[in-house]
Amino acid sequence: MTAPAGVPATVMDIVCPDGRRLRLRPIQASDAPRLVALHERLSAHTLYQRYFSVLRRLPSRWAQQLANADHEGRDALVVEEGPPESPALVAVGCYEPTADPGTVEVAFVVADRWQGQGVGTALFRELLRVAESRGIRRCRAYVLADNARMVDLISRFATVHTRSLDQGVLILEFTPRPARQA
């Protein structure tokens, strides 16, 4: 499911428990409109868990910025379904620099109908692997305290070094575990 360690993200298949296949790949500038469309399909609950508010429409400038990742210090991966010539995005994950040198903030969202299908797990693992292949080891995530699935996912694939709570938001500082320990 993942590419060999030390190489940039490549296109790979994700096979869901029911046999459906999705593609995971690096984001491209042409994905900006698909990012907006993905966000329009998210439930209010999923939007709130990702943005801590119900962001009804992803601003086009945010979509453009995310889609134009430099694939080094700031990167994003997408998961898509459908034919390669006209795919629909079902998930996006990204990391971007923080004010702390060597630390990136990690965030992602999976469309409601794909949650619980292993999509978030595959996306998170590959995002961590890509960051690590570029020398990035320290990560931070802001997670609503009641988002047990996200906290569990981070705990399964990373070593959490600090955990603090600020107004219902957990701030997790972590490093990826080697693949054999995940």
Question: Within 13 Å, how many C-alpha atoms sit on residue 99's CB side?
Answer: 0
pLDDT band at 3 (very low <50, low <70, confident <90, very high): very low
In a domain, 123, yes or no: yes
Residue 39 lies in a domain: yes
* 32 within domain boundaries: yes
Q: How many domains does the chain have?
A: 1
Neighbours of 9 (CB within 10 A): 21
Q: What pTM, to 2 d.p., does this model score?
A: 0.89
**What pLDDT digit, counting tens, does each position of 59-103 carry?**
889 999 999 998 888 999 999 999 988 899 999 999 999 999 889
Position 143 in a domain: no
- The predicted pLDDT at position 180 comes to 55
The mean per-residue pLDDT over the stretch 10-20 comes to 89
User: What CATH number is given to the structural domain containing 91?
Assistant: 3.40.630.30
- pLDDT of 1 > 70? The answer is no
Residue 181: partners with Cβ closer than 8 Å, 6 or more residues away = none
How far apart are the C-alpha atoms of 70 and 54, rounded to whole Å? 28
Read off the amino acid at residue 148.
Answer: A
Containing domain of residue 47, as a range? 12-136
Task: Please report whether residue 179 resides in a domain.
Answer: no
